Chain A
Amino acid sequence: MPHNRFKDSAKWAFVSPALIYALIMILAPLAYTLFLSFHQWSMSGVDKPLFVNIKNYADLCKDDRFLMAILRTFLFSAMALPFELVLGIAIAMLLNRDFKGKNIIKSLFLLPMVATPVSVGLVWMLMYEPTIGIANTLLGLLGITKLPIWLGSPNSAMFSLAIVDIWQWTPMISLIVLAGLSALPNEPLESAKVDGATKLQTTFKIVLPMLAPTITAAALLRLIDVLKIFDIIYATTKGGPNFATETLNIYAFVQAFQYFSFGYASAVLVVFFLIILAVSVAFVLIRNKFRVEM
Protein backbone atom coordinates (compact mmCIF):
# COMPACT_ATOMS: atom_id res chain seq x y z
CA MET A 1 0.00 0.00 0.00
CA PRO A 2 1.47 3.30 -1.01
CA HIS A 3 -0.40 5.01 1.84
CA ASN A 4 1.86 3.34 4.37
CA ARG A 5 4.51 5.64 3.03
CA PHE A 6 2.81 8.59 4.68
CA LYS A 7 4.13 7.80 8.09
CA ASP A 8 4.43 10.00 11.13
CA SER A 9 8.20 10.31 11.03
CA ALA A 10 8.23 11.93 7.60
CA LYS A 11 5.36 14.17 8.52
CA TRP A 12 7.21 15.60 11.51
CA ALA A 13 10.42 15.90 9.57
CA PHE A 14 8.64 18.11 7.07
CA VAL A 15 7.13 20.40 9.65
CA SER A 16 9.87 20.45 12.26
CA PRO A 17 11.93 23.37 10.87
CA ALA A 18 8.84 25.57 10.86
CA LEU A 19 7.81 24.26 14.26
CA ILE A 20 11.19 25.05 15.78
CA TYR A 21 10.96 28.58 14.42
CA ALA A 22 7.42 28.88 15.77
CA LEU A 23 8.44 27.59 19.16
CA ILE A 24 11.32 30.05 19.54
CA MET A 25 9.86 33.08 17.81
CA ILE A 26 6.14 32.73 18.51
CA LEU A 27 5.26 30.43 21.38
CA ALA A 28 8.05 31.38 23.77
CA PRO A 29 7.54 35.13 23.22
CA LEU A 30 3.80 34.73 23.79
CA ALA A 31 4.46 32.90 27.02
CA TYR A 32 6.95 35.57 28.02
CA THR A 33 4.37 38.29 27.33
CA LEU A 34 1.90 36.46 29.54
CA PHE A 35 4.57 36.17 32.25
CA LEU A 36 5.47 39.85 32.04
CA SER A 37 1.84 40.91 32.24
CA PHE A 38 1.87 39.84 35.89
CA HIS A 39 5.03 41.82 36.59
CA GLN A 40 6.29 45.34 36.73
CA TRP A 41 9.46 46.02 34.78
CA SER A 42 11.11 48.76 32.80
CA MET A 43 14.08 46.68 31.63
CA SER A 44 16.53 48.56 33.80
CA GLY A 45 19.75 46.58 33.96
CA VAL A 46 19.81 45.61 37.62
CA ASP A 47 16.19 45.14 38.59
CA LYS A 48 14.42 41.92 37.92
CA PRO A 49 10.75 41.89 36.91
CA LEU A 50 8.73 42.46 40.09
CA PHE A 51 5.76 40.16 40.56
CA VAL A 52 2.64 42.25 41.07
CA ASN A 53 -0.02 39.59 40.55
CA ILE A 54 -3.05 40.92 38.66
CA LYS A 55 -2.33 44.56 39.44
CA ASN A 56 -1.70 45.43 35.77
CA TYR A 57 -5.04 43.96 34.76
CA ALA A 58 -6.83 45.67 37.64
CA ASP A 59 -5.24 48.96 36.58
CA LEU A 60 -6.33 48.41 32.99
CA CYS A 61 -9.98 48.31 34.07
CA LYS A 62 -9.57 51.79 35.54
CA ASP A 63 -7.41 53.15 32.73
CA ASP A 64 -9.59 55.48 30.68
CA ARG A 65 -6.99 55.78 27.96
CA PHE A 66 -7.01 52.00 27.54
CA LEU A 67 -10.79 51.71 27.55
CA MET A 68 -11.04 54.54 25.05
CA ALA A 69 -8.46 52.79 22.89
CA ILE A 70 -10.61 49.65 22.77
CA LEU A 71 -13.64 51.72 21.92
CA ARG A 72 -11.73 53.60 19.22
CA THR A 73 -10.40 50.39 17.71
CA PHE A 74 -13.92 49.11 17.18
CA LEU A 75 -15.21 52.53 16.20
CA PHE A 76 -12.59 52.73 13.50
CA SER A 77 -13.63 49.34 12.17
CA ALA A 78 -17.26 50.42 12.24
CA MET A 79 -16.37 53.52 10.22
CA ALA A 80 -14.28 51.78 7.60
CA LEU A 81 -15.63 48.25 7.13
CA PRO A 82 -19.25 48.90 6.08
CA PHE A 83 -18.10 51.36 3.43
CA GLU A 84 -15.47 48.97 2.17
CA LEU A 85 -17.99 46.15 1.89
CA VAL A 86 -20.84 48.04 0.28
CA LEU A 87 -18.60 49.98 -2.09
CA GLY A 88 -16.46 46.96 -2.84
CA ILE A 89 -19.43 44.75 -3.70
CA ALA A 90 -21.09 47.49 -5.76
CA ILE A 91 -17.92 48.12 -7.75
CA ALA A 92 -17.42 44.40 -8.33
CA MET A 93 -20.97 44.09 -9.68
CA LEU A 94 -20.30 47.05 -11.93
CA LEU A 95 -17.09 45.56 -13.29
CA ASN A 96 -18.50 42.06 -13.66
CA ARG A 97 -18.83 42.01 -17.43
CA ASP A 98 -16.44 41.88 -20.33
CA PHE A 99 -15.12 45.21 -21.43
CA LYS A 100 -11.94 46.63 -22.84
CA GLY A 101 -9.28 47.29 -20.22
CA LYS A 102 -10.79 45.14 -17.50
CA ASN A 103 -7.48 43.50 -16.74
CA ILE A 104 -5.68 46.83 -16.52
CA ILE A 105 -8.28 48.01 -14.05
CA LYS A 106 -7.85 44.88 -11.99
CA SER A 107 -4.12 45.37 -11.76
CA LEU A 108 -4.49 49.04 -10.85
CA PHE A 109 -6.92 47.99 -8.13
CA LEU A 110 -4.05 46.08 -6.55
CA LEU A 111 -1.91 49.13 -6.04
CA PRO A 112 -3.50 50.71 -2.94
CA MET A 113 -3.16 47.52 -0.92
CA VAL A 114 0.36 46.57 -1.96
CA ALA A 115 1.82 50.07 -1.75
CA THR A 116 4.02 50.68 1.28
CA PRO A 117 1.66 51.89 4.04
CA VAL A 118 4.10 54.51 5.32
CA SER A 119 4.26 56.24 1.95
CA VAL A 120 0.51 55.89 1.56
CA GLY A 121 0.12 57.62 4.92
CA LEU A 122 2.52 60.38 3.92
CA VAL A 123 0.84 61.19 0.63
CA TRP A 124 -2.58 61.34 2.30
CA MET A 125 -1.07 63.59 4.94
CA LEU A 126 0.03 65.92 2.17
CA MET A 127 -3.38 65.81 0.50
CA TYR A 128 -5.07 66.50 3.84
CA GLU A 129 -2.69 69.37 4.70
CA PRO A 130 -5.12 72.18 5.62
CA THR A 131 -3.39 75.02 3.74
CA ILE A 132 -1.46 73.41 0.89
CA GLY A 133 -3.35 70.13 0.50
CA ILE A 134 -5.49 69.36 -2.51
CA ALA A 135 -8.46 68.21 -0.42
CA ASN A 136 -9.19 71.67 0.94
CA THR A 137 -8.31 73.37 -2.33
CA LEU A 138 -10.99 71.30 -4.05
CA LEU A 139 -13.50 71.95 -1.28
CA GLY A 140 -12.67 75.65 -1.58
CA LEU A 141 -13.39 75.54 -5.31
CA LEU A 142 -16.77 74.05 -4.49
CA GLY A 143 -17.44 77.16 -2.44
CA ILE A 144 -17.12 75.58 0.98
CA THR A 145 -15.76 78.15 3.42
CA LYS A 146 -15.64 76.20 6.67
CA LEU A 147 -12.80 73.91 5.67
CA PRO A 148 -11.97 70.86 7.78
CA ILE A 149 -8.48 70.39 9.18
CA TRP A 150 -8.64 66.62 8.66
CA LEU A 151 -5.86 64.91 10.61
CA GLY A 152 -5.22 68.04 12.67
CA SER A 153 -8.41 68.00 14.69
CA PRO A 154 -9.52 65.37 17.23
CA ASN A 155 -13.00 65.53 15.72
CA SER A 156 -12.05 64.65 12.19
CA ALA A 157 -8.76 62.74 12.50
CA MET A 158 -10.32 59.32 12.97
CA PHE A 159 -12.67 59.72 10.06
CA SER A 160 -9.87 61.03 7.85
CA LEU A 161 -7.88 57.89 8.60
CA ALA A 162 -10.93 55.73 7.92
CA ILE A 163 -11.11 57.30 4.45
CA VAL A 164 -7.52 56.21 3.83
CA ASP A 165 -8.37 52.68 4.93
CA ILE A 166 -11.46 52.67 2.72
CA TRP A 167 -9.38 53.85 -0.22
CA GLN A 168 -6.80 51.15 0.46
CA TRP A 169 -9.03 48.15 0.96
CA THR A 170 -12.25 48.65 -1.00
CA PRO A 171 -10.46 47.44 -4.15
CA MET A 172 -9.52 44.22 -2.38
CA ILE A 173 -13.15 43.51 -1.53
CA SER A 174 -13.98 44.18 -5.18
CA LEU A 175 -11.30 41.79 -6.41
CA ILE A 176 -12.45 39.07 -4.01
CA VAL A 177 -16.08 39.50 -5.01
CA LEU A 178 -15.10 39.53 -8.69
CA ALA A 179 -13.22 36.27 -8.22
CA GLY A 180 -16.25 34.87 -6.41
CA LEU A 181 -18.58 36.01 -9.18
CA SER A 182 -16.56 34.32 -11.88
CA ALA A 183 -16.65 31.08 -9.91
CA LEU A 184 -20.45 31.06 -9.64
CA PRO A 185 -22.35 28.33 -11.48
CA ASN A 186 -24.34 29.58 -14.45
CA GLU A 187 -27.51 27.49 -14.17
CA PRO A 188 -29.33 29.40 -11.40
CA LEU A 189 -28.74 32.69 -13.21
CA GLU A 190 -30.03 31.33 -16.49
CA SER A 191 -33.10 29.74 -14.99
CA ALA A 192 -33.83 33.05 -13.24
CA LYS A 193 -33.60 34.77 -16.59
CA VAL A 194 -35.96 32.25 -18.10
CA ASP A 195 -38.39 32.81 -15.23
CA GLY A 196 -38.34 36.51 -16.05
CA ALA A 197 -36.53 37.81 -12.97
CA THR A 198 -35.35 41.42 -13.16
CA LYS A 199 -31.70 42.26 -12.83
CA LEU A 200 -32.25 43.66 -9.35
CA GLN A 201 -34.09 40.52 -8.24
CA THR A 202 -31.36 38.29 -9.59
CA THR A 203 -28.70 40.33 -7.81
CA PHE A 204 -30.34 40.36 -4.40
CA LYS A 205 -32.14 37.03 -4.43
CA ILE A 206 -29.60 34.83 -6.22
CA VAL A 207 -26.15 36.34 -6.71
CA LEU A 208 -25.61 37.88 -3.27
CA PRO A 209 -26.84 34.84 -1.32
CA MET A 210 -24.56 32.60 -3.40
CA LEU A 211 -21.66 34.94 -2.67
CA ALA A 212 -22.41 35.07 1.06
CA PRO A 213 -19.60 32.68 2.08
CA THR A 214 -17.02 34.62 0.07
CA ILE A 215 -18.20 37.97 1.37
CA THR A 216 -18.35 36.76 4.96
CA ALA A 217 -14.84 35.39 4.80
CA ALA A 218 -13.53 38.60 3.24
CA ALA A 219 -15.34 40.75 5.79
CA LEU A 220 -14.00 38.82 8.76
CA LEU A 221 -10.45 38.82 7.43
CA ARG A 222 -10.74 42.53 6.86
CA LEU A 223 -12.17 43.03 10.35
CA ILE A 224 -9.21 41.26 11.90
CA ASP A 225 -6.77 43.37 9.93
CA VAL A 226 -8.56 46.64 10.56
CA LEU A 227 -8.58 45.97 14.31
CA LYS A 228 -4.79 45.74 14.08
CA ILE A 229 -4.24 48.87 12.02
CA PHE A 230 -0.95 50.50 12.92
CA ASP A 231 1.26 51.76 10.09
CA ILE A 232 -1.02 54.44 8.66
CA ILE A 233 -1.89 55.83 12.08
CA TYR A 234 1.63 55.77 13.43
CA ALA A 235 3.05 57.36 10.29
CA THR A 236 0.55 60.21 10.26
CA THR A 237 -0.91 61.11 13.66
CA LYS A 238 0.96 58.77 16.01
CA GLY A 239 -2.31 58.43 17.91
CA GLY A 240 -2.91 62.16 18.24
CA PRO A 241 -4.16 64.83 18.23
CA ASN A 242 -5.03 64.57 21.90
CA PHE A 243 -5.16 60.73 21.68
CA ALA A 244 -8.04 60.96 19.19
CA THR A 245 -6.61 58.20 16.98
CA GLU A 246 -4.99 56.07 19.66
CA THR A 247 -6.16 52.54 18.92
CA LEU A 248 -5.20 49.48 20.96
CA ASN A 249 -2.20 48.73 18.78
CA ILE A 250 -0.85 52.27 19.13
CA TYR A 251 -1.55 52.36 22.86
CA ALA A 252 0.33 49.11 23.45
CA PHE A 253 3.21 50.39 21.37
CA VAL A 254 3.39 53.65 23.32
CA GLN A 255 3.22 51.89 26.69
CA ALA A 256 6.03 49.55 25.70
CA PHE A 257 8.40 51.68 23.69
CA GLN A 258 7.79 55.22 24.90
CA TYR A 259 7.03 54.65 28.57
CA PHE A 260 8.99 51.38 28.81
CA SER A 261 6.33 49.90 31.10
CA PHE A 262 6.81 46.43 29.74
CA GLY A 263 4.65 44.76 32.35
CA TYR A 264 1.71 47.04 31.78
CA ALA A 265 2.17 46.96 28.01
CA SER A 266 2.15 43.17 28.18
CA ALA A 267 -1.18 43.22 29.97
CA VAL A 268 -2.54 45.45 27.20
CA LEU A 269 -1.17 42.98 24.65
CA VAL A 270 -2.78 40.00 26.36
CA VAL A 271 -6.17 41.70 26.23
CA PHE A 272 -5.58 42.76 22.63
CA PHE A 273 -4.54 39.22 21.78
CA LEU A 274 -7.69 37.79 23.37
CA ILE A 275 -9.92 40.18 21.44
CA ILE A 276 -8.29 39.25 18.13
CA LEU A 277 -8.32 35.58 19.07
CA ALA A 278 -12.07 35.71 19.73
CA VAL A 279 -12.68 37.32 16.35
CA SER A 280 -10.32 34.84 14.65
CA VAL A 281 -11.99 31.81 16.20
CA ALA A 282 -15.30 33.18 15.03
CA PHE A 283 -13.74 33.50 11.59
CA VAL A 284 -12.54 29.90 11.51
CA LEU A 285 -15.86 28.58 12.80
CA ILE A 286 -17.91 30.57 10.32
CA ARG A 287 -15.60 29.60 7.49
CA ASN A 288 -15.83 25.91 8.33
CA LYS A 289 -19.59 26.14 8.67
CA PHE A 290 -19.93 27.61 5.20
CA ARG A 291 -17.54 25.07 3.84
CA VAL A 292 -19.74 22.24 5.04
CA GLU A 293 -22.85 23.82 3.64
CA MET A 294 -21.39 24.50 0.24
Chain B
Amino acid sequence: MKAHASPSTLRKPASMYMKSAGYYIVVYIILLFVIFPFLWMVVSSFKTQAQMMDTQHFFNFSPTLRNYSDVFQRYNFTEPIVNSFAIALISTALALVLGLPASYAIARYRMTKLSIVLLIIRMIPAITFLVPWYIIFSLLGIIDTYASMILAHMLVALPFIVWIMVPYFESIPKEIEESAFVDGSGKFRTFLQIVLPLCGPGIITAAILSFVFSWNNFMFGIILSGRKTKTLPIAIYGFLTYTDINWGGLMAGSVIITAPIILISLILQRYIIKGLTAGAVKG
Protein backbone atom coordinates (compact mmCIF):
# COMPACT_ATOMS: atom_id res chain seq x y z
CA MET B 1 0.00 0.00 0.00
CA LYS B 2 1.12 3.54 -0.68
CA ALA B 3 1.24 6.15 2.02
CA HIS B 4 -1.55 8.40 0.81
CA ALA B 5 -1.82 10.87 3.63
CA SER B 6 1.49 12.58 4.02
CA PRO B 7 1.42 15.28 6.76
CA SER B 8 1.24 18.15 4.30
CA THR B 9 -1.91 16.85 2.59
CA LEU B 10 -3.63 16.63 5.92
CA ARG B 11 -2.81 20.17 6.85
CA LYS B 12 -3.79 22.07 3.71
CA PRO B 13 -6.08 20.01 1.51
CA ALA B 14 -7.56 22.95 -0.44
CA SER B 15 -4.30 24.23 -1.84
CA MET B 16 -3.20 20.70 -2.56
CA TYR B 17 -6.29 20.14 -4.65
CA MET B 18 -5.61 23.35 -6.52
CA LYS B 19 -2.05 22.23 -7.06
CA SER B 20 -3.06 18.86 -8.38
CA ALA B 21 -5.72 20.40 -10.64
CA GLY B 22 -3.05 22.73 -12.01
CA TYR B 23 -0.82 19.74 -12.51
CA TYR B 24 -3.41 17.89 -14.52
CA ILE B 25 -4.10 20.95 -16.67
CA VAL B 26 -0.42 21.24 -17.59
CA VAL B 27 -0.25 17.52 -18.34
CA TYR B 28 -3.35 17.69 -20.54
CA ILE B 29 -2.02 20.68 -22.46
CA ILE B 30 1.15 18.76 -23.24
CA LEU B 31 -0.92 15.77 -24.24
CA LEU B 32 -3.07 17.92 -26.52
CA PHE B 33 0.05 19.12 -28.33
CA VAL B 34 1.21 15.55 -28.78
CA ILE B 35 -2.01 14.16 -30.19
CA PHE B 36 -3.38 17.21 -31.97
CA PRO B 37 -1.90 16.43 -35.42
CA PHE B 38 -3.52 12.98 -35.25
CA LEU B 39 -6.88 14.46 -34.29
CA TRP B 40 -6.49 16.89 -37.14
CA MET B 41 -5.67 14.13 -39.57
CA VAL B 42 -8.80 12.22 -38.59
CA VAL B 43 -11.09 15.27 -38.56
CA SER B 44 -9.85 16.46 -41.95
CA SER B 45 -10.24 13.03 -43.48
CA PHE B 46 -14.03 13.41 -43.09
CA LYS B 47 -14.23 16.79 -44.80
CA THR B 48 -15.09 17.69 -48.37
CA GLN B 49 -12.77 20.04 -50.20
CA ALA B 50 -15.24 22.89 -49.64
CA GLN B 51 -15.45 22.18 -45.91
CA MET B 52 -11.67 22.15 -45.81
CA MET B 53 -11.61 25.73 -47.10
CA ASP B 54 -14.12 26.93 -44.52
CA THR B 55 -11.91 28.07 -41.68
CA GLN B 56 -14.90 29.36 -39.71
CA HIS B 57 -16.21 25.88 -38.99
CA PHE B 58 -13.21 23.73 -38.13
CA PHE B 59 -15.07 21.21 -36.02
CA ASN B 60 -18.67 21.97 -36.91
CA PHE B 61 -19.35 20.21 -40.23
CA SER B 62 -21.26 17.24 -41.57
CA PRO B 63 -18.74 14.44 -42.04
CA THR B 64 -18.40 12.57 -45.33
CA LEU B 65 -16.95 9.17 -46.14
CA ARG B 66 -16.24 10.22 -49.73
CA ASN B 67 -12.49 10.56 -49.12
CA TYR B 68 -12.21 6.99 -47.94
CA SER B 69 -14.07 5.55 -50.89
CA ASP B 70 -11.98 7.78 -53.18
CA VAL B 71 -8.79 6.43 -51.72
CA PHE B 72 -9.77 2.90 -52.65
CA GLN B 73 -11.61 3.54 -55.89
CA ARG B 74 -9.89 6.45 -57.57
CA TYR B 75 -6.42 5.99 -56.15
CA ASN B 76 -6.47 2.22 -55.84
CA PHE B 77 -5.07 1.84 -52.34
CA THR B 78 -5.72 -1.88 -52.02
CA GLU B 79 -2.60 -3.02 -53.81
CA PRO B 80 -0.21 -0.82 -51.78
CA ILE B 81 -1.78 -2.11 -48.58
CA VAL B 82 -1.04 -5.68 -49.64
CA ASN B 83 2.49 -4.70 -50.72
CA SER B 84 3.21 -2.89 -47.48
CA PHE B 85 2.04 -5.83 -45.38
CA ALA B 86 3.87 -8.43 -47.43
CA ILE B 87 7.15 -6.52 -47.60
CA ALA B 88 7.12 -5.59 -43.91
CA LEU B 89 6.25 -9.13 -42.80
CA ILE B 90 8.71 -10.96 -45.01
CA SER B 91 11.60 -8.57 -44.40
CA THR B 92 11.00 -8.72 -40.64
CA ALA B 93 10.91 -12.52 -40.69
CA LEU B 94 14.06 -12.82 -42.77
CA ALA B 95 15.86 -10.22 -40.67
CA LEU B 96 14.97 -12.24 -37.56
CA VAL B 97 16.34 -15.41 -39.15
CA LEU B 98 19.65 -13.64 -39.79
CA GLY B 99 19.67 -11.38 -36.78
CA LEU B 100 18.74 -13.69 -33.90
CA PRO B 101 21.62 -16.15 -34.25
CA ALA B 102 24.03 -13.30 -34.93
CA SER B 103 22.90 -11.43 -31.81
CA TYR B 104 23.19 -14.62 -29.81
CA ALA B 105 26.75 -15.19 -30.96
CA ILE B 106 27.66 -11.56 -30.26
CA ALA B 107 26.25 -11.86 -26.75
CA ARG B 108 27.72 -15.27 -25.90
CA TYR B 109 31.11 -15.04 -27.52
CA ARG B 110 31.55 -11.36 -26.65
CA MET B 111 32.12 -10.30 -30.25
CA THR B 112 32.27 -6.65 -29.25
CA LYS B 113 33.97 -5.55 -32.46
CA LEU B 114 31.17 -7.02 -34.53
CA SER B 115 28.57 -5.37 -32.38
CA ILE B 116 30.26 -2.00 -32.83
CA VAL B 117 30.29 -2.55 -36.59
CA LEU B 118 26.56 -3.27 -36.51
CA LEU B 119 25.99 -0.22 -34.34
CA ILE B 120 27.77 1.90 -36.91
CA ILE B 121 25.71 0.35 -39.71
CA ARG B 122 22.60 1.52 -37.88
CA MET B 123 23.98 5.02 -38.09
CA ILE B 124 25.18 5.15 -41.69
CA PRO B 125 22.79 7.20 -43.83
CA ALA B 126 20.59 4.75 -45.71
CA ILE B 127 21.03 6.70 -48.92
CA THR B 128 24.69 5.62 -48.99
CA PHE B 129 23.41 2.14 -49.85
CA LEU B 130 20.54 3.24 -52.00
CA VAL B 131 22.69 4.62 -54.83
CA PRO B 132 24.75 1.46 -55.37
CA TRP B 133 21.68 -0.75 -54.82
CA TYR B 134 19.80 1.13 -57.47
CA ILE B 135 22.62 0.62 -59.96
CA ILE B 136 23.13 -3.05 -59.11
CA PHE B 137 19.41 -3.86 -58.97
CA SER B 138 18.85 -2.13 -62.31
CA LEU B 139 21.59 -4.19 -63.89
CA LEU B 140 20.04 -7.34 -62.41
CA GLY B 141 16.62 -6.17 -63.56
CA ILE B 142 15.01 -6.54 -60.13
CA ILE B 143 13.85 -2.95 -59.62
CA ASP B 144 10.13 -3.00 -58.82
CA THR B 145 10.15 -6.55 -57.46
CA TYR B 146 9.49 -7.78 -53.94
CA ALA B 147 13.05 -9.12 -53.89
CA SER B 148 14.69 -5.70 -54.09
CA MET B 149 12.28 -4.11 -51.62
CA ILE B 150 12.65 -6.95 -49.10
CA LEU B 151 16.43 -7.00 -49.34
CA ALA B 152 16.46 -3.25 -48.75
CA HIS B 153 13.99 -3.30 -45.88
CA MET B 154 15.98 -6.01 -44.13
CA LEU B 155 18.69 -3.43 -43.69
CA VAL B 156 16.30 -1.30 -41.67
CA ALA B 157 15.39 -4.22 -39.44
CA LEU B 158 18.69 -6.00 -38.91
CA PRO B 159 20.58 -3.44 -36.80
CA PHE B 160 17.45 -2.91 -34.69
CA ILE B 161 17.19 -6.61 -33.96
CA VAL B 162 20.84 -6.81 -32.94
CA TRP B 163 20.49 -3.60 -30.91
CA ILE B 164 17.61 -5.03 -28.91
CA MET B 165 18.55 -8.71 -28.76
CA VAL B 166 22.21 -8.57 -27.72
CA PRO B 167 21.48 -7.18 -24.24
CA TYR B 168 18.55 -9.58 -24.03
CA PHE B 169 20.65 -12.66 -24.73
CA GLU B 170 23.29 -11.33 -22.32
CA SER B 171 20.68 -11.25 -19.58
CA ILE B 172 19.91 -14.97 -19.95
CA PRO B 173 22.03 -16.93 -17.48
CA LYS B 174 24.70 -19.03 -19.16
CA GLU B 175 24.10 -21.90 -16.73
CA ILE B 176 20.85 -22.76 -18.47
CA GLU B 177 22.62 -23.47 -21.73
CA GLU B 178 25.52 -25.20 -20.05
CA SER B 179 23.25 -27.69 -18.36
CA ALA B 180 21.70 -28.36 -21.75
CA PHE B 181 25.16 -28.99 -23.20
CA VAL B 182 25.90 -31.40 -20.40
CA ASP B 183 22.71 -33.24 -21.29
CA GLY B 184 24.17 -33.64 -24.75
CA SER B 185 22.15 -31.03 -26.62
CA GLY B 186 24.04 -29.42 -29.51
CA LYS B 187 24.64 -25.72 -29.77
CA PHE B 188 22.05 -25.09 -32.44
CA ARG B 189 19.41 -27.20 -30.77
CA THR B 190 20.11 -25.47 -27.47
CA PHE B 191 19.74 -22.12 -29.16
CA LEU B 192 16.50 -23.05 -30.91
CA GLN B 193 14.81 -25.07 -28.20
CA ILE B 194 16.06 -23.53 -24.98
CA VAL B 195 17.38 -20.01 -25.51
CA LEU B 196 14.90 -18.62 -28.03
CA PRO B 197 11.76 -19.63 -26.11
CA LEU B 198 13.16 -17.72 -23.12
CA CYS B 199 13.47 -14.58 -25.22
CA GLY B 200 9.86 -14.16 -26.28
CA PRO B 201 9.40 -10.55 -25.10
CA GLY B 202 12.70 -9.47 -26.65
CA ILE B 203 11.84 -11.08 -29.97
CA ILE B 204 8.40 -9.48 -29.93
CA THR B 205 9.94 -6.06 -29.33
CA ALA B 206 12.46 -6.53 -32.12
CA ALA B 207 9.83 -7.87 -34.52
CA ILE B 208 7.32 -5.08 -33.88
CA LEU B 209 9.89 -2.37 -34.31
CA SER B 210 11.23 -3.95 -37.49
CA PHE B 211 7.72 -4.20 -38.86
CA VAL B 212 6.91 -0.60 -37.97
CA PHE B 213 10.07 0.80 -39.50
CA SER B 214 9.62 -1.21 -42.66
CA TRP B 215 5.99 -0.14 -42.92
CA ASN B 216 7.03 3.49 -42.51
CA ASN B 217 10.00 3.37 -44.85
CA PHE B 218 9.79 5.92 -47.59
CA MET B 219 13.20 6.51 -49.13
CA PHE B 220 13.88 3.01 -50.45
CA GLY B 221 10.45 2.74 -51.98
CA ILE B 222 10.77 5.98 -53.95
CA ILE B 223 13.61 4.44 -55.92
CA LEU B 224 13.31 0.67 -55.67
CA SER B 225 9.57 0.18 -56.01
CA GLY B 226 7.44 0.81 -59.04
CA ARG B 227 3.90 0.34 -60.21
CA LYS B 228 3.72 -3.27 -59.01
CA THR B 229 5.45 -3.06 -55.62
CA LYS B 230 4.55 0.44 -54.48
CA THR B 231 4.09 0.58 -50.69
CA LEU B 232 1.67 2.86 -48.83
CA PRO B 233 3.99 5.82 -48.17
CA ILE B 234 4.84 5.90 -51.89
CA ALA B 235 1.20 5.57 -52.89
CA ILE B 236 0.11 8.49 -50.75
CA TYR B 237 3.04 10.59 -51.83
CA GLY B 238 1.79 9.99 -55.37
CA PHE B 239 -1.41 11.89 -54.54
CA LEU B 240 0.61 15.05 -54.14
CA THR B 241 1.59 15.30 -57.78
CA TYR B 242 -2.01 15.96 -58.77
CA THR B 243 -2.07 19.68 -59.45
CA ASP B 244 -4.95 20.48 -57.14
CA ILE B 245 -4.14 19.03 -53.74
CA ASN B 246 -6.99 16.80 -52.57
CA TRP B 247 -6.49 17.34 -48.86
CA GLY B 248 -9.38 15.14 -47.80
CA GLY B 249 -8.03 12.22 -49.80
CA LEU B 250 -4.52 12.80 -48.49
CA MET B 251 -5.74 12.78 -44.91
CA ALA B 252 -7.92 9.69 -45.42
CA GLY B 253 -4.90 7.93 -46.89
CA SER B 254 -2.76 9.10 -43.97
CA VAL B 255 -5.28 7.72 -41.51
CA ILE B 256 -5.25 4.37 -43.29
CA ILE B 257 -1.44 4.20 -43.21
CA THR B 258 -1.10 5.34 -39.62
CA ALA B 259 -4.00 3.46 -38.03
CA PRO B 260 -2.40 -0.02 -37.97
CA ILE B 261 0.81 1.41 -36.53
CA ILE B 262 -1.07 3.28 -33.84
CA LEU B 263 -3.10 0.21 -32.96
CA ILE B 264 0.01 -1.94 -32.68
CA SER B 265 1.76 0.68 -30.56
CA LEU B 266 -1.12 1.13 -28.18
CA ILE B 267 -1.63 -2.58 -27.69
CA LEU B 268 2.04 -3.43 -27.37
CA GLN B 269 3.24 -0.15 -25.89
CA ARG B 270 5.27 -1.79 -23.14
CA TYR B 271 7.45 -3.58 -25.65
CA ILE B 272 7.85 -0.59 -27.91
CA ILE B 273 8.85 1.79 -25.14
CA LYS B 274 11.42 -0.73 -24.02
CA GLY B 275 12.76 -1.17 -27.54
CA LEU B 276 12.96 2.50 -28.42
CA THR B 277 14.60 3.53 -25.18
CA ALA B 278 16.88 0.48 -24.98
CA GLY B 279 20.19 1.80 -26.27
CA ALA B 280 20.14 4.95 -24.24
CA VAL B 281 19.13 3.75 -20.82
CA LYS B 282 21.11 0.56 -20.70
CA GLY B 283 24.23 2.58 -21.53
Chain A interface (Cβ < 8 Å from any Cβ of B):
2, 5-6, 10-15, 17-19, 21-22, 25-26, 28-30, 32-33, 36, 43, 91, 94-95, 98-99, 103, 105-120, 122-124, 126-127, 129, 131-132, 134, 137, 167, 171-172, 175-176, 179-180, 183, 213-214, 217-218, 221, 224, 228, 230-231, 234-235, 249, 252-253, 256-257, 262, 265-266, 269, 272-273, 276-277, 279-281, 283-284, 287, 290-291, 294
Query: Is B52 at the interface (CB under 8 A from chain A)?
Result: yes
* Interface residue from A95, A98, A290 paired with B283 (Cβ < 8 Å): A290
A132-B128 in contact (CB<8A): no
* Interface residue from B102, B132, B232 paired with A15 (Cβ < 8 Å): B102
Interface size class for chain B? 35 or more
Q: Ordered nearest first, which 6 A-B pairs have the shortest CB separation?
A: A119-B254, A14-B105, A29-B132, A18-B102, A107-B269, A280-B123
> Which residues B121-163 have CB closer than 8 A to chain A?
121, 123-136, 138, 151, 154-155, 158, 162
CB A224 to nearest CB in B, in angstroms, measures 5
A98 and B138 CA atoms in complex are apart in Å by 56
Query: Is B108 at the interface (CB under 8 A from chain A)?
Result: yes
Q: List 18 A-B contacts (CB under 8 A).
A: A11-B111, A15-B101, A29-B136, A30-B124, A98-B2, A105-B27, A107-B273, A116-B254, A118-B257, A123-B38, A132-B52, A172-B276, A176-B277, A183-B281, A249-B125, A253-B127, A273-B125, A279-B123
Chain B interface (Cβ < 8 Å from any Cβ of A):
2, 23-24, 26-27, 30-31, 33-35, 37-38, 40-41, 44, 52-53, 55, 58, 97-99, 101-102, 104-106, 108-109, 111, 114, 116, 119-121, 123-136, 138, 151, 154-155, 158, 162, 178, 181-182, 187-188, 191, 212, 215-216, 218-219, 222-223, 232-233, 236-237, 240, 247, 250-251, 253-255, 257-258, 261-262, 265-266, 269, 272-273, 276-277, 279-281, 283
* Interface residue from B27, B132, B281 paired with A179 (Cβ < 8 Å): B281
Q: Which residue of B lies closest to A114 (CB)?
A: B265
Question: B99 — which chain A residues lie within 8 A by C-beta?
Answer: 18
* Interface residue SS majority, chain A: helix
B237-A235 in contact (CB<8A): yes
A211 and B99 CA atoms in complex are apart in Å by 31
Question: B158 — which chain A residues lie within 8 A by C-beta?
Answer: 18, 21-22
